[in-house]
Chains A and B, each alone.
Chain A
Amino acid sequence: MPTFVYMTRCDGCGHCVDICPSDIMHIDPTYRRAYNIEPSMCWECYSCVKACPQNAIDVRGYADFAPLGHSVRVIRDEEKGTIAWKIKYRNGTEKNFLSPITTKPWGQAIPKLADVPAPNQEMRDSQLLYNEPKWIRMDDGGLHTLQSAGLKMKKGVYY
C-alpha cells in the first residue's frame, strides 16, 4: 500500500524524507514537496505517515491487489503517549482503535550508562551484563550456568 502526498497539504519540511527506512520519500525539485519515488519498495510501514506534521501523506492500497475506496489513517502523539487509528472499509464500515505507545515521558527513563558506577573487575570477569542479576532469577541466585541447570557438556555428535 504505497504512500502518496497531497499537493495542497505538504510544505516540503522533509520529515518524511528523514525517517523513511527505505529511502524512498524524496522532495520533488520542481514542486518542492515530497513524493514516493519507488512505490515498489514501500513496506507501508507508515513511518513517514506518522512523522508528517501536516498529515499530508496517505496510503493507497497496492494497485495490483487492493481495490480503491478504503483508508487507514493514523495520529501518533508522543506527548499523550498514544496512537489512534481509523480504518475505513470500501463498503463504508469504520473501525477505530487507540493504543498507548509509551508509559513514561518520552526519552527520560533511560539511564546514561556513562554516568552509572563503573563495573568492578569481578563483574567484568563474570558473565553478567549491566544491571544483572536483577530480573533473571526467581531466587536471589546468580546467572544460570550449565552446573546450576544440572546440565553437562556432552561430546559433540556428527551422527
Chain B
Amino acid sequence: MAYKTIVEENIDILVVGAGLGGSGAAWEARYWGQNKKIVIAEKANIDRSGAVAQGLYAINCYMGTRWGENNPEDHVRYARIDLMGLVREDLLFDMARHVDSTVHQFEEWGLPIMRDPKTGRYLREGRWQIMIHGESYKPIVAEAAKKSADKVFNRICVTHLLMDDSKENRVAGAVGFNVRTGNYHVFKSKTVICGAGGASNIFKPRSVGEGSGRTWYAPWSSASAYGLMIEAGAKMTQMENRIVLARFKDGYGPVGAYFLHLKTYTQNGLGEEYESKWFPELQKMVGKEYLDPEVSHLTHRPIPTCLRNHCIIGEVNAGRGPIHMVTMKAFQDPHLEEVGWENFLGMTIGQAVLWASTDVDPKNENPELTTSEPYVMGSHATCSGAWCSGPEDVSPPEYFWGYNRMTTIEGLFGAGDAVGGTPHAFSSGSFTEGRLAAKAACKYIDDGKAEGIVISDEQINRRRKQIYKPLEHYKIYRNEIVAGDVNPHYINPKQGLDRLQKLMDEYCGGVTVSYMTNEKLLNIALKKLKIMEEDLDSLAAKDIHELLRAWELKHRHRAAECVTQHTLFRKETRWPGYYYRGDAMKVDDANWHVLTVSRRDPKTGEYTMEKAPCYHLVGANE
C-alpha cells in the first residue's frame, strides 16, 4: 500500500486526544517544560472535538472556595455518596483543590461565565454547577492548547501505544493513521498523556436507524482511552460502574439546569410523585447508609443518581409511565423559559430540533423523560478508568507510585474520562486533571525516568501491518461476491458494532433487559466477546473512513470486555439504576466495599482481577 510512514521523533510529551483533559495537559505542560517538545495527536480537529464539541451551558465542577462556598473535602463527600461510597478520595480531593484556578482562568480567556448580580459571584445552577454561555467552550480551550503545543496533528486516529523495547512496562509513544490521507504516523515520545475520552455505543442505543447518532455521550467517544490503555496492559478500575442517564426522551437533552435552576420536577404518567414510594424497598437493598431520605431532606445530602434512576425504571416497568418533567410552571416565567432553551442550544441542539418538529413547547406541555442505554466513562456521575497514582501529599501508599495521574505503565498518564475513581470531574475537573498530569509528566522526564527508550523497527512495522489489515482484507475478498456487504470472509465495522451492542445489551445489562444481568449471562457475554475478537481479525474496511470506524470498534470491543470482566467480578448490586446483578441484588458492604482493579496481560489476553482498599480520607460530617 502506498501510504507513507511519517515519524515524529524526540517528543517529550505526547497528548493523545485533546478534548478537555488533553487540552489541559498540553496547555499546562508548556509551563513546567518550557523547552520540552509537546505534541498533540487528535482524531478530529481540536477546535471542535470530544464531548464538548457543541458547547456546554454549565461548568459542573466548581468549588467557589474563594467565596467560602465549598471546600475540597465537601466535594469528596458529595461524589462519594453519589457513587455509593466507592471513589478514589485522594484523586478527588486533589482535583477539587485545583479546579477553581482552572475555571477562573477560563473566564480570563474570555469564556462568558454568568454572575449573580447581587453577590457578584458566579451564578450557581446548583451547589457545584455554575452557568456559562459555553457555545465556544471547546474552541477557547483548544486555543490555549494550540498556544502551548509545538505541533498539533489533527485527524490522527491513534490505534496503539508504543512500548519501550528495552524496559518492560514503559511507554514510548503511540502510532495511528491519518483519517484523510491514510498515512501511517509514528510518535516517539518520552511520555504519553492519554485524554482519548469515554465510550458511547458500547451498549445498544435506544435510538435506531437514521437516528442512531442521537446518543447522550457523543457518537465519536469511541472508548479509545480504554482500548489503548487496556491493550498496553494498564490496570483499570471500577469499569463495571457504567452510567445510565435520565434525560429528555429521544433528544437526550440535559436535565441539570431544569432540576436545579428552573426547579422543575418529575411525575409519573398519572401525575403523581413516585420517587418516595420506591425508597423503603430500595433502602432494604442498599442500606440506610446509602439511602436515608430523612437525612437527605435535613442536610441536603443528595440521593445518589443511580437510585433516582431506579425509581424511574421501576415506575415505568410497573406500567405507570411515561415519566414527565413538569416544565409548564417554570416556563411561564420568560426568563426561565429562555434559560431552558439556551441550555439545549448550548449543549444538545438536537433536543431543540426534536421539540420543534414534534410541536412540544414545554410552556404548554410537560415533556417525557427516559433512562438511556449505559455509557462507560469516568468524569460524570460514574468513574470508570485507569488505576492511577495520586499526589504524594495526599495519597496512601497503595495509591501512590511516584507521579500524579500516572497509570501503572511507566510514563503513561491519564486525564478526564481516562482516569478511574474520579467521578464528578466534568469538563473543568477533566481539564484540571490534564494540568496535573502534565506537571507530573515533566517531573518524570526531569527525574531521568525516560532515559534509554528503544523502539524497534519490528514493533513499528508490526503495528503498521495491523492497522491496515482491514483494508487489505477487504481487497482480498471483495471480488468474491457480486456486490453488497454480505461476505462469508468478513464483516464491516457497522455490522460488528451492531453485534457488540446487541450482546452487551442482552447479556451485560442494557436497556432491553431493564439493566439486568447475572453471572451466567456475563459468562456468555465473555464467550461471545472472545469469538467476536476472532471476527475482528476479519474486519473489512472499504476506505480510510471505514478504517477509522474499524479501529473505533476494536477499542470499543476491548473496553466492553473489560466492563464485562469487572461486572462479573463484583458480586453485588452496588448501583441499582445503573445495573443489577440478579444473582446478588443487594449492596454487600462486608465483601465489596472495595475498588475493583483489573489487568489484561497483553501477551496472553488473560485478565487478573483484584480488590483494592477504599481509603476514606474525609469524615462523614460537614
Contacts and interface: CB of A to CB of B under 8 A. Distances in A.
Contacts of A102: 110-112, 136, 140
Interface of A: 1-2, 18-23, 26, 37-47, 59, 61-72, 74, 76, 83, 85, 87-91, 93, 95, 97, 99-107, 109-114, 116, 118-119, 124, 127, 129-138, 143-146, 149, 151-159
A69 to B, nearest CB: 7
B614 interface: yes
A47 B54 contact: yes
Given A41-B212, A159-B593, A110 B144 contact: yes
Given A100-B112, A114-B30, A131 B210 contact: no
B547 to A, nearest CB: 11
Nearest to B404: A127
B68 A138 contact: yes
A158 to B, nearest CB: 5
B209 A40 contact: yes
Interface of B: 27-28, 30-32, 34, 44-45, 47-50, 53-54, 65-68, 71-73, 93-94, 97-98, 100-101, 103-105, 107-112, 133, 135-136, 140, 143-144, 147-148, 155, 179, 207-215, 218-220, 250, 338, 341-342, 345-346, 349-350, 352-354, 356-359, 361, 391, 393-394, 396, 398, 435-436, 439, 443, 545, 548, 589-590, 593-594, 611-619
B67 A138 contact: yes
Contacts of B97: 136, 143-144
A48 to B, nearest CB: 9
A114 B111 CA distance: 22
B96 to A, nearest CB: 8
A109 B357 contact: no
Contact of B353 (A39, A59, A133): A59
16 contacts: A19-B45, A40-B212, A44-B350, A47-B54, A62-B214, A87-B352, A89-B361, A97-B338, A110-B109, A118-B34, A127-B393, A144-B65, A145-B393, A149-B71, A152-B617, A154-B617
Contacts of A138: 65-68
Contacts of A1: 214, 349-350, 353-354
Contact of B354 (A23, A66, A104): A66
Contacts of A64: 207-211
Nearest to A39: B210
Nearest to B155: A23
B139 to A, nearest CB: 8
A97 B334 CA distance: 12
The listed residue with most B CB atoms (<10 A of its CB), out of A102, A104, A134, is A102
A85 B559 CA distance: 38
B200 to A, nearest CB: 9
B138 to A, nearest CB: 9
Given A69-B357, A70-B357, 16 more contacts: A59-B353, A89-B356, A99-B133, A110-B109, A129-B28, A129-B98, A135-B66, A135-B103, A136-B66, A136-B101, A144-B72, A151-B73, A154-B616, A156-B396, A156-B398, A156-B615
Contacts of B618: 151
Contacts of A134: 101, 104
A64 to B, nearest CB: 5
A114 B38 CA distance: 11
B342 A99 contact: yes
A137 B64 CA distance: 9
A59 B124 CA distance: 33
Contact of B341 (A21, A41, A97, A156): A97
Contact of B31 (A116, A152, A155): A116
A47 B137 CA distance: 13
Given A59-B353, A145-B393, A153-B615, A21 B218 contact: yes
Nearest to A78: B136
A130 B28 contact: yes
B135 A76 contact: yes
Given A18-B45, A47-B53, A149 B589 contact: no
A112 B30 CA distance: 9
A23 B44 CA distance: 7
The listed residue with most A CB atoms (<10 A of its CB), out of B67, B101, B342, B611, is B101
A118 B394 CA distance: 26
Contacts of B50: 21
B71 A26 contact: no
Nearest to B442: A124
Given A64-B211, A89-B359, A46 B66 contact: no
A26 B155 CA distance: 14
Contact of A45 (B54, B136, B208, B212): B54
B341 A95 contact: yes
B594 A158 contact: yes
A133 B111 CA distance: 21
B567 to A, nearest CB: 20
B617 A151 contact: yes
| The 7 A-B residue pairs with the shortest CB-CB distance in the complex, in nearest-first order | A156-B613, A104-B110, A62-B211, A45-B54, A70-B357, A113-B30, A70-B356
A44 B349 contact: yes
B250 A65 contact: yes
B216 to A, nearest CB: 10
B310 to A, nearest CB: 24
Contact of A130 (B136, B435, B611): B435
A114 B148 contact: yes
Given A43-B54, A47-B48, A102-B136, A158 B593 contact: yes
A47 B7 CA distance: 31
A2 B31 CA distance: 41
A146 B341 CA distance: 42
A46 B616 contact: no
A148 B505 CA distance: 47
Nearest to A147: B393
The listed residue with most A CB atoms (<10 A of its CB), out of B73, B358, B612, is B358
Contacts of A114: 30, 34, 148
A137 B72 contact: no
A156 to B, nearest CB: 3
A43 B213 contact: yes
A43 B53 contact: yes
Nearest to B546: A38
A44 B135 contact: no
B211 A90 contact: no
B58 to A, nearest CB: 13
